[in-house]
Chain A
Amino acid sequence: MTTLILEGSKYLMIFLMIYYAYLNFRFFGEKYDFRKLKLCRKQNGAMFLIHFLGFLSLYLSRGEEKILVFYGAQVLFFAFYLGLSRVFYRNISRLLLNNVCLLLSVGFLMLARLDMEKAVRQFVIAAAAAVISWIIPFIIDRVWQLSRIPWIYGGAGLALLLTVCVAGVTSYGAKMTLELGGISLQPTEFVKISYVFFVATMFYRSTDFRSVAVTTAMAAAHVLVLVLSKDLGNGLIFFLTYLFMLFVATGKWLYLTAGLGAGCLASAGAYALFPHVQTRVAAWLDPWSDVANKGYQIAQSLFAMGTGGWMGMGLDQGLPGKIPVVEKDFMISAIGEELGGLFAICLILICLGCFLQFMMIATRMQAMFYKLIAFGLGCEYIIQVFLTVGGAVKFIPLTGMTLPLVSYGGSSMVGTFILFSVIQGLYILKRNEEEDDEENESQS
């Protein structure tokens, strides 16, 4: 009977995940709000069912009571979070809200399977971050001074990065972490937000040459400090995000092409300068000639995904623990191995769906400030997803990035919650405006 449920759950979870991803894209094509609402309700159903089947499988496989307790706590959290978010903000984007919950639930499930202690920690941080970030749309709606303080964003961000560069702790070759009284923080996750705000406020003021030059210098300083900390993955995210924001703000192809050219040169330079970059490129080109050392990580990731195949080995039936730092850099491989390649592909599509939603919000915002913020944060998000997934499937060299909302990591969790909440804030702002317009029209 147990095998029956385990096997059945595996296929059902894949089916539900495909259904969820389908609804996600179906949403974009829907015109009428009541239909969209229906889609979102179905998504909620699918999400809770996936979550239930996942933890049921895990419980049947492990037989530990605490899994049930943990599951119960999560269900409560999701129910309250989904419910209360809509009470506080009538006009919240339910699609984004659903996607956040889905990504979180898959992350909790895989973490619980890999390391229960970490999963609980992650859950507590996520719950706290969810509660705290409820205030963000409120702030965005009321505090119009946000667009006035570029140098606070820029200065604070750069100062934080410099602190990490000087006083940070090195892990896996890069300095990313600050140790503060027993808590380790990754300030870069927060600087990502302030950085986009900085660029958006600068370009909101002016896009003349002088402003572009000053902003570029400041952005370059951010990237440079990250490179000095050997945090090349985040350096790449900051660089590309700035370049894309510059392009959208000015509309000048020259900036984009010149920037990409400079980026290529810088990459070649980084390759020549940093031995660990050479190692990673070599491991990407041919992991098989040195499986035991250089190619070990990527080979284990590919073994995991390859052995799982399209359908997966079933939850708790594979060996994702064999991949080094699986809970951070290789969550997608662990998901592919146990929940199936199809499940992993749907998950990536949902991340892409979030990005497209961000872009749609960006196009709908009228003020350049908001437009650039939605666009910039969207870029940061999707580039990070690309770097982590692309690295894990050997599409690009490994950069050691995490999958937002899914991978283990407190700072990343809080930072991503802020990111999504800022965009929710913009969406709510827009919807409120539209509602006011409609009311004015009907009154006049």
Chain B
Amino acid sequence: MKKTNPNPNANRNILRLAYVVSGVFVCMLLYLGYFLQFESGGVINNAYNPRVDLLSERVVRGEIQSSDGQILARTVTSEDGTERREYPFGSLYAHVVGYTGKGRTGLESLNNFYLLTSHVNLAEQVFNQFSGIKNLGDNVVTTLDSNLQQTAYDLLGDRRGAVVAMEPDTGKILAMVSKPDYDPNTIAEDWERLTADEEGEARLLNRATQGLYAPGSTFKILTLLEYLREHPDDWEEFHFDCDGLYENGEYTIQCYHGEAHGSQDLMQAFANSCNGAFAQIGLELDKGKFRTLTEEMLYNQELPLSLSYSRSSFSMTEDGDTWEILQTAIGQGKTQVTPIHQLLITAAIANGGTLMKPYFVDHVENAGGQEVKKFMPSSWGKLISAEEAASLTQFMSRVVTEGTGSALRTDAYTAAGKTGSAEFETGRETHAWFTGFAPAEAPQIAVTVIVEEGGSGGKAAAPIARGIFDAYFSE
């Protein structure tokens, strides 16, 4: 065969291309290795992955524990090998821990993969596999404090509503209660009754994250913030004479139970939750900026929350008419918020304006108690500036010392917060709100309480927060 003008560089170029191809393949294999080692755990814990359930044939689902080591969920294997998921505290942790069996909810769902993965030592694993014994799955240790959870549960009693508590500087959720509830131990038997829900109780709904309520006077925190932003220097000159009924043309706004607050400056108006004063403030605000502020505070936005939740909504636009403004400024009207969202705003104020991402799992450990994975606090970012946070804290402290939050007056610690009594249907009692934190000067815990049809926030909701703070600081 003839050799016409063979390119002398041909072999070198062939080798070059071979090296490039090899390099690309090495990158691809490293990517695959990285995926298998680090990313796969997060990826396969997905509702669309039918395979996770296969793991349960080899692994005994691990325990869910409170931060103080109480067992919130465990799998009991009977002698004939059948497994049953047991929730020793019954309905106490129903919504937050969730259930498994009829689908999965709550932490049972979020941590499905961890619970079905075993990190008992390798020799034991191999031995178990060979002898056909199931490995023990990892245990998920939550941030939930059993004492606070029990306190919140007892204080809410038979009333409908929700209580959520978290550490503002870490984002650890300490307690989450929603009522009415259900017993996850008997979820299969009760399923039809619960889903049919003939009494309209929505027992399966986690009101703490999914319940949407009018914020009522707790929304005045945002109205106040916008007013402070628009009047950085002269807000102290604010003055309002309250006779219990604010009239603007054909519209009237009443203070709670028609109480006349008399001459009010801004701080007093906030502490006494004077509707007239805040309705008037509302009229003065720049509606566009106000809407922007609410969206910065995560209204109409996604929350950094792994549990399923409802999105809070703020609907007033720049075209809002006078009635809409009057209503919106005092937290009535179409605005809707979830208790967890209220808590996040409150926690950000308590934490110098920085919102920490809320989380429920402190660490995952193997059946022998060795830590497998640790979750660290992480910041979502700034909701407001540190100065604004300090200023709002001052206002919220006055609510407790001189205003509607009197239930929290104590020498043991200084609390700060805001009450709310949200009207939702004429002729029915208002929903009672309280959202706040303590100690005001160096906050360690933030709490949001809602009691459906509880009446006034100060009387129905604030005492629950008081009980939780008392329990927390006596620990």
Q: Which residues of A contact B (CB under 8 A)?
A: 3-4, 7-8, 144, 147, 204-207, 244, 247-251, 288, 291-292, 296, 299-300, 302-307, 309-310, 313, 317-319, 322, 337, 341, 344-345, 348-349, 352, 355-356, 359, 362-363, 366-371, 375, 379, 382, 386, 389-390, 393-395
Quick check: B35 and A307 within 8 Å, CB to CB?
no
Q: Which residue of A lies closest to B9 (CB)?
A: A251
Least Cβ–Cβ distance between B24 and chain A, in angstroms: 7
Contact partner of A345 (CB less than 8 A), chosen from B3, B4, B9, B29, is B29
Other-chain residue from A309, A348, A355, A386 in contact with B18 (beta carbon distance below 8 A): A355
Question: What's the Cα separation between A375 and B29 when bound, in Å?
Answer: 23
Besides A302-B44, A366-B6, A395-B28, 13 other A-B contacts (C-beta < 8 A): A247-B13, A248-B17, A305-B32, A305-B36, A306-B35, A306-B36, A306-B41, A310-B37, A318-B51, A362-B14, A368-B4, A379-B17, A386-B28
B103 within 8 Å of A (CB atoms):
no
Docked-complex contact B48 and A307, CB < 8 angstroms: no
Q: Which residue on chain B has the smallest CB distance to residue A203?
A: B7
A220-B130 Cα distance, complex, nearest whole Å:
58
Report the Cα distance A85→B467, complex, angstroms.
Answer: 85
> Does A319 lie within 8 Å of B51, measured CB to CB?
yes
Interface centre among B3, B5, B22, B28 (most CB of A within 10 A): B28
CB within 8 Å of A: which of B127-153? 129-132
Pick from B3, B31, B40, B50: contact of A309, CB under 8 Å: B40
> Are B54 and A251 touching (Cβ within 8 A)?
no
Least CB distance from B289 to A in Å reads 32
Q: Of all chain A residues, which has the CB nearest B133? A: A3
Q: Are A393 and B31 in contact (CB under 8 A)?
A: yes
- Using Cβ atoms and an 8 Å threshold, which residues of chain A touch B24? 386
Q: Which of B368-384 contact A (CB under 8 A)?
A: none
Asked if B52 is at the interface of the complex by the 8 Å CB criterion, the answer is: yes
Contact B11 A363, beta carbon cutoff 8 Å: yes
Chain B contacts to A: CB under 8 angstroms: 1-11, 13-15, 17-18, 21-22, 24-25, 27-29, 31-33, 35-37, 39-41, 43-44, 46, 48-52, 54-55, 126, 129-132
Assess the A299–B46 pair: CB atoms within 8 A. Answer: yes
Closest to B26 in A: A352
With A3-B132, A303-B49 known as contacts, the answer to whether A317 contacts B54 (CB < 8 A) is yes
Q: Is B7 a contact of A368 with CB atoms below 8 Å?
A: yes
Inter-subunit contact B130/A251 (CB<8 Å): no
Identify the 8 closest CB pairs spanning chains A and B, nearest first.
A306-B40, A303-B49, A306-B44, A307-B51, A251-B9, A359-B18, A363-B11, A341-B36
> Can you list 6 contacts pairing A with B, beta carbon distance less than 8 Å?
A207-B7, A248-B7, A248-B10, A251-B8, A299-B48, A395-B27
**Partner among B9, B46, B55 whose Cβ is within 8 Å of the Cβ of A303:** B46
A337 to B130, CA, bound (A): 20
Residues of B within 8 A of A304 (CB): 51
Contact of B14 among A147, A207, A317, A363 (CB under 8 A): A363
Given contacts A306-B40, A307-B44, contact A3 B7 (CB under 8 A): no
Task: Specify which chain A residues have a CB less than 8 angstroms from the CB of B129 in the assembled complex.
Answer: 3, 7
Closest residue of A by beta carbon distance from B48: A291
Residues on B with C-beta less than 8 A from A292 are 48
Is there an interface contact between A369 and B1, defined as CB atoms closer than 8 Å?
A: yes
Please measure, in the bound complex, the distance between the C-alpha atom of A243 and the C-alpha atom of B49, giving whole angstroms. 41
Report chain B residues within 8 Å CB of A205: 4
Of B7, B22, B46, the contact of A250 (CB 8 Å cutoff): B7
Question: Chain B nearest CB: distance from A288 CB in Å?
Answer: 8
Chain B residues closer than 8 Å to A369, beta-carbon distance: 1
Q: Is the CB of A248 within 8 A of B14?
A: yes
B90 CB, min distance to chain A CBs, angstroms: 33
The smallest C-beta distance from A382 to any residue of chain B, in angstroms, reads 6
Main secondary structure of the interface of B (DSSP, over half): helix
Tell me whether B28 and A389 are in contact (CB under 8 A). yes
Set of chain A residues within 8 Å of B39, measured between Cβ atoms: 306
Residues of B within 8 A of A366 (CB): 3, 6
Q: Nearest residue in A to B28 (C-beta to C-beta)?
A: A395
Could you say which residues of chain B place their CB within 8 Å of the CB of A207? Answer: 5, 7
Min Cβ gap B374→A in Å is: 21
Q: With a CB–CB cut-off of 8 A, which chain B residues contact A359?
A: 14-15, 17-18
Residues of A within 8 A of B14 (CB): 248, 359, 362-363, 371, 375
Across the interface, name the chain A residue whose C-beta is closest to B44: A306
Indicate if the CB atoms of B18 and A144 lie closer than 8 Å.
no
Output the nearest chain B residue to A379 by Cβ-Cβ distance.
B17
Instruction: Give, as a whole number of angstroms, the nearest-CB distance from B30 to chain A.
Output: 10
B36 near A7: Cβ-Cβ < 8 Å: no
B8 contacts which chain A residues (CB < 8 A)?
A: 251
- In angstroms, Cα B129 to Cα A389, docked, is 31
* CB <8 Å contact, A309 and B13: no
- Bound-state Cα–Cα, A288 to B48, Å: 10
Q: Is the CB of A395 within 8 A of B32?
A: yes
Cα–Cα distance between A260 and B46 once the two chains are bound (Å): 39
* A390 x B9 contact (CB < 8 A): no
Residues of chain A with a CB closer than 8 A to B18's CB: 355-356, 359
Q: Verify A251–B46 contact, CB threshold 8 A.
A: no
Contacts of A204 in B (CB 8 A): 4
Assess the B4–A371 pair: CB atoms within 8 A: no
Distance (Å) between the CB of A196 and the closest chain B CB? 14
Distance in angstroms from B43 CB to nearest chain A CB is 5
CA distance A282 to B39 in the complex (A): 20
Give Cα distance in the complex from A341 to B29, angstroms: 10
CA distance A319 to B52 in the complex (A): 10
A206 to B6, CA, bound (A): 10
Question: Cβ of B35 and Cβ of A248 under 8 Å apart?
Answer: no
Which residue of chain B is the closest to A392 with respect to CB atoms?
B32
Cα of A96 to Cα of B205 in the assembled complex, Å: 62
Evaluate contact between B52 and A307: CB separation under 8 angstroms.
yes
A395 contact set on B, CB distance < 8 A? 27-28, 31-32
Q: Decide: A348 near B29, CB < 8 A? Known: A303-B43, A317-B54.
A: yes
Hey, which chain B residues are within 8 Å of A248, CB to CB? 7, 10, 13-14, 17
- In the complex, the answer to whether A341 meets B1 with C-beta atoms within 8 Å is no
Residues from chain B with Cβ under 8 Å of A370 in the complex: 1
How far, in whole Å, are A352 and B41 apart by their CA atoms in the complex? 28
Q: A303-B43, A303-B51 are in contact. Are A244 and B4 (CB under 8 A)?
A: no
Supposing A4-B130, A248-B7, A305-B40 touch, asked if A352 and B25 sit within 8 A by C-beta, the answer is yes
Q: Is the CB of B54 within 8 A of A249?
A: no
B37 nearest CB neighbor, chain A only: A310
In angstroms, Cα B31 to Cα A324, docked, is: 23
Q: Are the C-beta atoms of B28 and A393 separated by less than 8 Å? A: yes
| A341–B37 CA distance with the chains assembled, in angstroms | 10
B25 adjacent to A386 (CB under 8 Å): yes
Name which residue of chain A comes closest to B24, CB basis: A386
Alpha-carbon separation in the docked complex, A22 to B28 (Å) = 19
Task: Give A3 to B133 CA distance when docked, in angstroms.
Answer: 10
User: In the bound complex, what is the Cα–Cα distance between A275 and B316 (angstroms)?
Assistant: 38
From B1, B28, B36, B131, contact of A310 by CB (8 A): B36
A144 to B2, CA, bound (A): 11
Nearest chain B CB to A143 CB, angstrom units: 12
Centre residue among A310, A367, A395 by max chain B CB count within 10 A: A395
Q: Provided the pairs A251-B7, A395-B31 are in contact, do residues A319 and B54 lie with their beta carbons within 8 angstroms?
A: yes
Q: How far is the CA of A303 from the CA of B43 in the complex (A)?
A: 7
In the bound complex, CA of A368 to CA of B4 (Å): 8
Q: Tell me the complex Cα distance, A369–B6, Å.
A: 10
- Partner of A363 from B6, B15, B27 at Cβ < 8 Å: B15
Please give, as numbers and ranges, the residues of chain A lying within 8 Å of B22 by CB-CB distance. Answer: 352, 356
Which of chain B's residues have a CB closer than 8 A to the CB of A382?
21
